Amino acid sequence: MLSLILGAAMSLQTADTIFVNGRVYVQKGRFESALAVAGDRVLAVGNDAAIRALASKDTRVVDLKGRLVTPGFNDAHVHFLDGGFGLLSVDLRDAKDEAEFAERIGRHAAGLPKGAWILNGNWDHERWKSQALPTKALIDAVTSDNPVAVNRLDGHMILANSPALKAAGIDRNTKDPFGGTIVRDASGEPTGILKDNAQDLLYKALPEPTREMNVRAAKAALAHAASLGVTSVQDNSSIDALPTYQQIRAEGGLLARINVWRPVSAMKSLIDAGVRSGLGDEWIRIGAIKILSDGSMGAGTAAFFDPYTDEPATSGLLLYPVEELNRMIDEADAADFQLAVHAIGDRANALVLDAFEKAAAARPRADRRFRIEHAQVVRRADLPRYAKLRVVASIQPSHCIDDMRWAPKRIGVERCRMAYNFKSFLDAGIPVAFGTDWYVEPLDPRLGLYAAVTRETVEGGPKDGFLPEERIPLEAAIDLYTRGSAYAEFADDRKGTLEPGKLADLAIFAEDLFKLEPKKILTTPVDLTMVGGRVVFERMPPHTP
């Protein structure tokens, strides 16, 4: 009855903007040719004639000329402020070898004042012919005046130069912390590589970024997101970004809706302040409590039941003792926080599911929306447990086409069959949300769509894709990037589709992606991005009759 009343009330309105003569992806299973927006909401969807009837003399009429309109993309897992800082720092992602890696860092250092730290970077040694981890010896000569702590693109390893190690007090006598590794050479001297919890030893020495620096990074990230059709982000930045987003909003510069996660270390202060998941409004809202249970496959620290194929001496790292992981999950759930727990290896996924089951049994509740972030390698026997608990598998599809270059070497072909199983999750009735893990992967949702549909590298291949039985159709991929991600943050009642009454968050592509060969998805630009009925990015003004 309420929806009928709402529909009748909205039918009396005139539109601020209408889009006609295109292909509007309303939601999975429904397309229309036109859409009307009034205020910050979708007023109506339908055929051109019905939508044109909602126009007044002041209505902006946009001729889509066959272009595709989708709901705005919602990145379900992003390090948003960190990504913004990355846009302002040195880019090492595509450095082809150690020499180019060192040259880029040295060139960046030459433009900095003495003592300024060099951070971010997002290097990937798997791209190099040697595939050897970098060392401080590579960069010490070109960075003697600047401490360096550049991270591998997965965020589970950093390379520190000698000034940075000295600032952090890390030397040959420093012991490995639980859940972390200080990589050492044959003589016992640290090479500069710090894995997982060992990174914390260095992070304690980093100067806190100023508010001005945070605002610069956030504005860069917001502009980047708008250009890609990303209208919502679920942010687990390492920095307390909430005050930064509030300042930008007060200044009228917020270009995307932000669901702000907090680390488990902040939980007590949130409880004391009476803050819980869901506090906020449509623009800024407190999200999940984030816990990391293991590391990453790229760093050799994701936790598996069996040893790594290429490093049989290790099965990875648990970042907390099992009892501690169980306690944190139980306490967060008891305090009514949503939980988002990072788990990549099959053992980590199983242990997190064990803890979720215990929490759910202790406190029966209808709609928790537990989340496992990445869910990369999951035993088939654990899929029914995901489904029974309605655990959201928060997946980053572009990881698949990046990691498949080296995953079979790292964990073997058979375990790879349990990895990046998009279709198997859906077939098992598991809620799935898509994101990017930016800065780890590019923020660009086109890359994720392409990865989910083809499971091929951006260059093409392998033929038919990596484990092609796990490919999904484009319509399903868009659904997981919009409605699926909205569901993961308890927002599917107000965004994620373009149904009347939902928030008018949308993206217009220069062409209809459904009519293109998959490779062209990667290069078809976004022409316009709208958030709450306001245009926040426009590549080329569409034809307005």
Number of domains in the chain: 2
pLDDT of residue 164: 95
Same domain? For 106 and 176 the reply is yes
Burial of residue 501, with CB atoms counted within 10 A of its CB: 0-12 exposed, 13-18 middle, 19 or more buried: middle
Report yes or no: 398 and 436 within 8 Å, Cβ to Cβ: yes
pLDDT of residue 12: 64
Other beta carbons within 10 Å of 443? 24
pLDDT of residue 238: 78
DSSP bridge pairs for 38: 41
Which domain covers residue 123, as residue numbers? 81-203
Which stretches within 140-194 are classed as H helix?
162-168
With respect to residue 11, please indicate whether it lies within any of the assigned structural domains.
yes
Give me the sheet containing 180-184, strands edge to edge.
118-123, 148-152, 157-160, 190-196, 180-184
pLDDT of residue 13: 86
pLDDT of residue 274: 95
pLDDT digits (tens, 9 = 90+) for 158-189: 999 999 999 999 999 999 999 999 999 999 99
Retrieve residue 501's tokens: 């009454």
CATH number reported for the structural domain that contains residue 32 in this entry: 2.30.40.10
pLDDT of residue 494: 98
Same domain? For 130 and 179 the reply is yes
Other beta carbons within 10 Å of 296? 27
Report yes or no: 433 and 76 within 8 Å, Cβ to Cβ: yes
Same domain? For 118 and 92 the reply is yes
Last residue of a domain, one of 203, 231, 262: 203
Roughly what angle, to the nearest 10 degrees, separates helices 445-454 and 474-481? 140
22 Cβ contact partners less than 8 Å away, ≥ 6 residues apart? 33, 34, 64, 65, 66, 67, 68, 69, 508, 512
With respect to residue 259, please indicate whether it lies within any of the assigned structural domains.
no
- Tell me which H or E stretch contains 136: helix 136-139
pLDDT of residue 540: 66
Same domain? For 112 and 187 the reply is yes
Last residue of a domain, one of 157, 185, 203: 203
CATH number reported for the structural domain that contains residue 85 in this entry: 3.10.310.70
Q: Nearest-5° angle of CA 24, CA 400, CA 404?
A: 145
120 Cβ contact partners less than 8 Å away, ≥ 6 residues apart? 82, 85, 86, 89, 90, 150, 151, 439
Same domain? For 85 and 197 the reply is yes
Same domain? For 91 and 175 the reply is yes
pLDDT of residue 2: 40
Same domain? For 17 and 44 the reply is yes
Give me the sheet containing 17-20, strands edge to edge.
41-46, 34-38, 17-20, 60-63
Strand ranges (DSSP E) for 177-283? 180-184, 190-196, 230-235, 257-263
pLDDT of residue 366: 86
Q: Which residues of the chain have pLDDT under 70?
A: 1-12, 540-545
Alpha-carbon distances of 491 from 4, 10, 334, 406, 426, rounded to whole Å: 21, 21, 22, 36, 20
With respect to residue 428, please indicate whether it lies within any of the assigned structural domains.
no
